[in-house]
Structure 1
Amino acid sequence: MEFRSQSNNSELPEVNLVPMLDVLMSVLTFFIILSMSLTGQREEGVILPQVGRAGEGEQVAATQPEKLVIAITEQQDFLVQNQLLSEQQVLQEIQQFLQNNQQGEIIVKADKTLAYQDVYQLLQKMGEIGGNRVSLAIQ
């Protein structure tokens, strides 16, 4: 009896990836075409309204809340609508603004050289009044 080496006959089978890639590309193409056709569906006889642009007579500003801008200078002066006011006047202005505009926003523009403690004190007093929509402006 003669033993032959089976290493010559036991080569690894060759895997042909081309048919598998063809199938994957076909499936991918199918889903791309399907998704494109579903997103572009239109109903017959339905005319959709167009979105208006600003300046065409529509009131776009009615959807945006009113804003009160308070500026604090380096010398800790308060400016509201370019008018120099005391801290007490600013707080009264905020209270009146919030009574008239419940959804209104208050924007604080503080000079960058101010200590944060000074801005924080104003924010605390605004919180006591009831101002909960405050934004700090940055550049």
Structure 2
Amino acid sequence: MAIRFSRRDREEPEINLIPFIDVLLVVLIFLMLTATFSRYTQLQVRLPEADAEAAQTQAHEIVVAIGADGRYAVAGQVLTTPSVQALTAALQQAAQGQTEPTLVINADAAATHQSVINAMEAARNAGLQRITFATQQPRER
């Protein structure tokens, strides 16, 4: 006994977009969480150029940015007073709980020599012994 359906009894296939939208929202959230952002957003720093190998990232780094105008930023926080004492206090706070952190100095190419020396003095006062300087590759001319 064969049952035949007429064309009117068949349902038209439809595409359900709700699961597709759910998957796209999850992918969007994943991309937003894993996106990398610029490390130098707190101060506009133009690094000096040097022809050297790319450094490997250390596990415990404290990044100090020095602007061309002499302002300091420690771990993304711009200091209100550009003094050695304020910089020492900020470095001590950033180094709490870390064993042998490395201080990375991102000094602008136009920053004064004195502001870099002040950062090194503050690192000595804070007990940081490992210091490195960030540079960028020379541009092709």
Q: Smaller-chain TM-score range?
A: 0.3 to 0.5
RCO higher in structure (CA 8 A, sep ≥6): 2
User: What TM-score, normalized to structure 2?
Assistant: 0.47
Question: Which has the larger share of helix?
Answer: 1
Looking at CA atoms only, which structure, 1 or 2, has the larger radius of gyration? 1
